[in-house]
Amino acid sequence: MPATVSLWPLIGVAVVIVGFVLRFNPIVVVTVAGLATGLAAKLPPDLILAKLGTGFVKTRNLPLTLLLPLPVIGLLERHGLRERAQAWIAGIRSATAGRLLIVYLFIRESAAAMGLTLVGGHAPMVRPLVAPMTEAAAEQTHGPLPPAVRDRLKALAAATDNVGLFFGEDIFVAFGSIVLMQTFLAENGIVTDPLHIALWGIPTAIAAFVIHAARLLRLDRQLPALIAREGAKAAP
């Protein structure tokens, strides 16, 4: 008889979902999720804190990797990177905000699936290129955009990057999350191959692409009504 596997440690996933839906601080949400998972797995408190500390030490250089590209991006923007990107996308007649973001979603998710997680990102790609190009595509079709609509397009550009990276990287067999899942399953008596786990990430990645692409196509249909509504609010 195989040993019964407790599903209570998965409560951390529910904590993450609820925390992000309620828009709590991400650091607090992840920390609480880790504590909840550890307690549900009946780990000693000192071991839980040790695991959290180990994770922090492993990622302490992350802010440096995010800050280093900023001076380069700032110089490029100062010399007209955003304007060049907007002018280029304005020359493509068939481009719309939704279609452009779908193309970026495909590139981002495909690159992450091959382990190229640095191809993209909010600082080096979304802010200087993807968001301005999305605004330009919308302006080409609908004319001047109200500030609220611009903010919505910027948010969707950032969300597209997040979706592509999050679901694409789980297909890459050497990514940390795959190794973590394989180790967790092995510790609980379930021996599986990392490649097998990565392959099961493919249906989820495809579903995420289809769902988010449908949202982006719906955006193209909703933009005229959004622009009209925001324009009416701004009218005296």
Question: Are 71 and 56 members of one domain?
Answer: no
CA distance 215 to 1: 46
User: Count of domains in the chain?
Assistant: 2
Q: What is the pLDDT of residues 16-29, one digit of tens each?
A: 889 888 888 877 88
CB 101 within 8 Å of CB 214? no
CB 195 within 8 Å of CB 179? no
Question: Are 162 and 102 members of one domain?
Answer: yes
Please say which residue of 16, 39, 60 terminates a domain: 60
Please say which residue of 38, 60, 82 terminates a domain: 60
Question: Are 36 and 66 members of one domain?
Answer: no
pTM of the model: 0.66
The pLDDT confidence band at residue 155, using thresholds 50, 70 and 90, is: very high
Helices (H), the chain: 11-21, 26-40, 45-58, 62-67, 69-78, 81-90, 97-113, 131-142, 147-169, 176-187, 194-234
* Structural domain boundaries enclosing 118: 62-234
Closest CA to 85 of 128, 119, 123: 128
More confident site: 209 or 178: 209
CA distance 81 to 88: 11
Candidate ranges 35-44, 47-56, 66-75, 150-159; pick with highest mean pLDDT: 150-159
Question: Are 5 and 109 members of one domain?
Answer: no
Question: Are 75 and 98 members of one domain?
Answer: yes
Question: Are 48 and 124 members of one domain?
Answer: no
CB 38 within 8 Å of CB 48? yes
Question: Are 5 and 83 members of one domain?
Answer: no
